């Protein structure tokens, strides 16, 4: 038969093998030329898949390619042993050709799945099962090869079990030893902190604190503190800086705002985000604010921290190489806020599993808004994004288009939900919780924010007293609204 006829016949043989049928033996054409072409195709397919699955900053790793070639070599040796054992030397190339052909087909399937994943065209739930799926495909092609040979050569049951166990054990050992040697390896550059960066931070922090001006007596004013605590992606820095610009330009917090940023490019421009810098900033704000009248708007943007089983730990990631910084947990944050003496608080947490912050931060004088439920991820924190889904819907759209936090939040919930549905993601379900005293005072406080151009003078104590006069006879405060939907 001709080369092309043998080529397509081997493709059919591999498909029969994957179905566990010995019909594969009647279709396989075990020539050296077919072995060579399918070896080249399998290598090419694996390089393609490794390229699609690799991080953006990667380099070709020859060691990873050599690690992959271990398997064809083992199966070729197995073919030699089988040929000698059965005195049928036509079997020499059969195992390796079937395996390489099946590998080519399955890795091309993996490449298609990975491409769709890269283009965000797959449902979100599939992202978590893809590594398991790819591992099962690899096991499938190897065990199906063993299966059809066991049937063809009439191996006893104990020999079949022994070969299967040995193969799985070999696979586990191989995976453990090559996990750090992919065909395309991420380029990791050791992060170093220069002397200039080290000494720049103290004056940068002091300058930011000195730029905070005192509030005016008798006027309820807003102060903005933004925290972008994850340095490896620019989206969090961008989100906080855009939120700060919105508050400074639209809501008049210029001179009352500050941003703490973790990013390799901002050491000379912004104070780093850490527990120590947050505490220092809160204490400095409290000295400039009238804590009985003024309001702190605290925005935090980062990744939610999970353990090795993807269980939320109720913390925000804090990274800024080469510094070793502890995460932000809600109980520590509540303590830092209480110790500062700042009474009126609006806190927005833009992160996966941000709902874990609600219970710890609850307070009669606090409004809490989170990008997601305690057990749900939020989306949009990609390397090429300038805002997360929630950040865009709440800050860039809701706060610009509405005249209240309720209006901005409900609009954000709707638009985030629409976008998540369109992308096939599980709904993040943003949350809202408000304390009973804040619920009474918020309409008046919002006038000082959303209508700042008119510079309204608000007597907060009088506003609360007037509200109490019109309240129901039992005088009970409104319950905290914890769920947005």
Write the pLDDT tens digit of every residue in 387-446: 999 999 999 999 999 999 999 999 999 999 999 998 888 899 999 999 999 999 999 999
The pLDDT value given to residue 334: 96
The pLDDT value given to residue 1: 64
Specify the higher pLDDT residue, 306 or 199: 306
Give the pLDDT band (50/70/90) at residue 470: very low
Region 113-117 average pLDDT: 89
The residue to which tokens 């739930």 are assigned: 125
* pLDDT at residue 363 tops 90: yes
Tell me if 325 sits within 8 A of 374, measured CB to CB: no
Distance of CA 223 to the CA centre of its chain: 30
Region 465-485 average pLDDT: 40
H or E segment and range at residue 348: strand 344-350
49: left (phi over 0), alpha (psi -120 to 50) or beta: alpha
Region 143-169 average pLDDT: 80
Q: How do the domains of the chain map onto residue ranges?
A: 3-186, 197-469
The pLDDT value given to residue 196: 81
Whole-model pTM? Answer: 0.67
Mean pLDDT of the residues in the chain: 86
Which of these ranges, 190-204, 237-251, 429-443, has the smallest mean pLDDT? 190-204
Q: What angle do CA 218, 401, 481 make, to 5 degrees?
A: 70
For residues 452, 458, 464, 469, the Cα torsion angle rounded to the nearest 10 degrees is -110
* pLDDT at residue 467 tops 60: no
**What is the share, in percent, of the chain residues with pLDDT greater than 70?**
89
Closest CA to 101 of 160, 182, 29: 29
Which of these ranges, 57-66, 183-192, 414-423, has the smallest mean pLDDT? 183-192
The pLDDT value given to residue 424: 83
The pLDDT value given to residue 139: 81
Count Cβ neighbours within 10 Å for each residue of 439-458 and write b for 16 or more, e otherwise: bbbbebbbbbbbebeeeeeb
Specify the higher pLDDT residue, 220 or 299: 299
The pLDDT value given to residue 439: 94
Tell me if 27 sits within 8 A of 13, measured CB to CB: yes
Pick the CATH number of 197-469 from 3.40.50.150, 3.30.565.10, 3.90.1300.10, 3.40.50.1460: 3.40.50.1460
Region 362-370 average pLDDT: 96
The pLDDT value given to residue 399: 94
The pLDDT value given to residue 155: 76
Between the alpha carbon of residue 85 and those of residues 15, 88, 167, the distances in Å are 26, 8, 19
Q: What are phi and psi of 349, to 5 degrees?
A: -115, 110
Contacts of 463 (CB under 8 A, 6+ apart): 441, 444
The residue to which tokens 């639209």 are assigned: 250
């Amino acid at each position: 038969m001709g080369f092309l006829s043998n080529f397509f016949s081997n493709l059919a043989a591999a498909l029969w093998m994957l179905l566990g049928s010995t019909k594969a033996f009647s279709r396989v054409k075990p020539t050296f030329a077919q072995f060579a072409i399918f070896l080249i195709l399998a290598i090419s397919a694996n390089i393609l898949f490794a390229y699609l699955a690799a991080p953006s900053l990667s380099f070709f790793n020859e060691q990873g390619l050599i690690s992959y070639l271990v398997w064809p070599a083992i199966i070729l040796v197995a073919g030699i042993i089988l040929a000698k054992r059965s005195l049928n030397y036509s079997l020499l190339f059969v195992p390796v050709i079937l395996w390489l052909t099946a590998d080519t087909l399955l890795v091309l399937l993996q490449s298609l799945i990975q491409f769709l994943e890269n283009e965000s065209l797959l449902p979100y739930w599939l992202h978590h099962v893809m590594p398991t799926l790819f591992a099962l495909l690899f096991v499938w092609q190897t065990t199906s090869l063993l299966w059809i040979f066991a049937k063809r050569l009439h191996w006893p049951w104990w020999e079949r079990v022994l070969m299967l166990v040995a193969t799985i054990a070999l696979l586990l050992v191989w995976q453990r030893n090559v996990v750090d040697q992919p065909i395309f390896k991420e380029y990791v550059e050791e992060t170093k902190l220069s002397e200039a960066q080290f000494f720049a931070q103290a004056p940068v922090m002091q300058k930011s604190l000195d730029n905070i001006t005192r509030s005016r007596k008798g006027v309820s004013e807003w102060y903005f503190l933004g925290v972008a605590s994850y340095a490896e992606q620019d989206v969090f820095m961008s989100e906080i800086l855009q939120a700060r610009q919105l508050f400074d330009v639209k809501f008049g917090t210029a001179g009352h705002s500050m941003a703490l940023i973790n990013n390799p490019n901002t050491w000379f421009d912004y104070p780093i985000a850490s527990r120590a810098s947050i505490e220092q900033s809160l204490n400095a704000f409290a000295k400039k604010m009238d804590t009985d009248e003024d309001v702190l708007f605290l925005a935090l943007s980062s990744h939610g921290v999970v353990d090795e089983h993807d269980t939320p730990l109720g913390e925000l990631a804090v990274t800024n190489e080469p510094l070793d910084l502890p995460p932000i947990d809600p109980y520590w944050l509540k303590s830092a806020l209480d110790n500062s003496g700042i009474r009126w608080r609006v806190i927005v947490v833009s992160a996966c599993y941000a709902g874990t912050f609600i219970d710890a931060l609850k307070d009669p004088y606090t409004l809490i808004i989170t990008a997601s439920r305690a057990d749900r991820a939020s989306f949009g924190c990609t390397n090429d994004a300038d805002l997360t889904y929630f950040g865009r819907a709440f800050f860039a759209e809701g706060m610009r288009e509405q005249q209240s936090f309720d209006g901005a939040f409900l609009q954000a919930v709707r638009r985030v939900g629409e976008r998540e549905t369109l992308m096939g993601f599980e709904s993040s379900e943003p949350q809202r919780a408000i304390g009973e005293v804040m619920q009474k005072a918020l309409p008046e406080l919002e006038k000082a924010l959303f209508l700042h151009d008119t510079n309204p003078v608000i007597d907060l104590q009088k506003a609360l007293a007037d509200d109490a006069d019109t309240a129901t006879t039992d005088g009970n405060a409104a319950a905290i609204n914890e769920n947005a939907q």
